[in-house]
Structure 1
Amino acid sequence: MSAPLSGRKAQAARNDEVILAAARAVFMRTPDAPIAAVAQEAGVGVSALYRRYSGKEDLLITLCADGLHRFIAVAERAAQLPDPWDSFAAFVGGVIEEDTHSLTVHLAGRFTPTPELGDLSQHASSLGNAIFDRATAAGVLRDDLVREDVAMIFEQVTAVRVDDPERTRVLRARYLALLLDAVRIDARTGTLPGPGPTGAELGARWTPR
């Protein structure tokens, strides 16, 4: 068990949480927003923000890393479930609940990924792929589903967003339930039209623009 943080360190950690929450809110609305908009949203001075981050790119990298850590935590919890379908559904639902995927897609191509982010991303992908592969091997997913389809499910459901956060949560749960029904082996839909997305198609968005 780690020792509790001192008063000053605890306050700094809380400030970091406030800044990252503000950055998530600002960049979800306007990915090109200046760093000053984050300071305003967080209720701190721009100088206070620059004491923690060297600039917008540093903040974006930190924000992306935070999202990947959240993704990994969801995947690790879901992987512990004994039933392959429950594990898959908990993974997909948990990532959507954390709302990490929509943020990283918004940020794609707006900064240069670091090697550390690359390692985190690879670990996150490996965990997600293992959950998908386990469900596929168990025969609970339709056989024309590919791993990359899951990323598109994240995007489709998290695109649902209204002004009321609770209503957003309820609507996302509704459409997630519909999509999970569609990917089960006994889905009522026929063969999916066309091939699924490729890793290259998804990865191209991370090329700096």
Structure 2
Amino acid sequence: MTESSRGSKPTDGGRPLRRDAALNRERILQAAREVFGQRGLGVTLDDVAHHAGVGVGTMYRRFPTKEALVRTLFEQDLAMRQESAEKALAHPDPWEGLVDFLMEMTADLAGNRGLHEVIMLGSHSSEPMETARGGMLPFLGALIRRAQESGDLRAEVTPSDIPVIQHMLSAATQFTQGKRPDIWRRYIEVLLNGLRERPDNTPLTTPSLSNETVEQVMGLVRPAEERE
């Protein structure tokens, strides 16, 4: 989603940007979405400026740091993930709601390395992004409980399983090095078959990660030794 689709005009110190400045800003955001999506957040602002076809000075006037650019680009994307979870919770079929959420989330993460790093690894984080990321596990818990209570999802599945599954599916896409960016669709079918409750399921023998471990890996909390 680009800045112009958000219903508010970009400003500079509270003043609306001139048309040429606003176009440059939009061009930078679109270029950043493409570069971050393809190569991750390791790219520099100079890389983004080159891709956008603007001068480095223009780049730094609009976004003086990479953190500022990442925040502008991804804060709303994270909020949209919560909206997707709320929509899934409202689905009349608990299993289909969970599947819809997983499919939409995986499509976003598999196709956008930058978004994957922001959500899964907490790269270049900010308070609004942390609030959105930290709010996902309760939604996942509600989606899972709902699907388990309907008898569709096997009882051993926990909310902490979902980020791991998402990471696995994104890794499958990256493994193809751009040759099969949709390969995650094959493996999510395999995983959904394993998640579905069936009378002949054999119990899972390895416990899931704790929520605390997942939060630490995702950078949502610091390990105890770091807090001391």
Cα distance in structure 1, aligned partners of 2:23 and 2:38: 22
**Where in structure 2 are there 5+ consecutive unaligned residues?**
1-5, 10-15, 223-228
- Cα distance, 1:163 vs structure 2: 4.4
Which of 161, 166, 169 is matched with 1:157 structurally? 169
Partner of 2:3 in structure 1? Answer: none
CA contact (8 A) 2:109 2:116 kept: no
Give TM-score scaled by structure 2 length.
0.73
Deviation digits for residues 11-50 of structure 1, max 9, x if unmatched?
Answer: 467435403413423542xx43322122223333322332
Tell me which residue corresponds to 1:106: 117
Out of 157, 161, 181, the residue aligned to residue 168 of structure 1 is 181
Aligned residue pairs total 203
Which of the residues 106, 128, 135 maps onto 1:96? 106
**Partner SS state of residue 157, structure 1:** helix
Higher RCO structure (Cα 8 Å, ≥6 apart): 1
Aligned to 2:49: 39
Partner of 1:83: 93
Q: Deviations over 1:29-83 (max 9, x none)?
A: xx43322122223333322332332302222333442431232232233233210
Secondary structure of the 2:160 match is: helix
Between Structure 1 and Structure 2, the one with more helix by share is: 1
Return 5+ residue gaps in structure 1 as ranges: none
Residues 63 and 197 of structure 1: is their aligned pair in 2 closer, same or farther, counting only changes over 3 Å?
Answer: farther
CA distance 1:22–1:191, change in 2 (3 Å) = same
Deviation of 1:116 after TM superposition, in Å, equals 2.0
String of CA shifts for 1:143-180, please: whole Å, max 9, x gaps.
11111101111111111223447x322x1111000000
Cα distance between partner residues in 2 of 1:85 and 1:66: 27
Matched to 2:181, the amino acid is T
CA distance in 1, matches of 2:105, 2:132: 15
Q: What amino acid sits opposite 1:81 in the alignment?
A: H
Paired position in structure 1 for 2:65: 55
Identity among equivalent pairs (%): 22
Q: How far apart are residue 137 of structure 1 and its match? A: 2.0
Whole-Å Cα distance in 2 between the matches of residues 143 and 4 of structure 1? 45
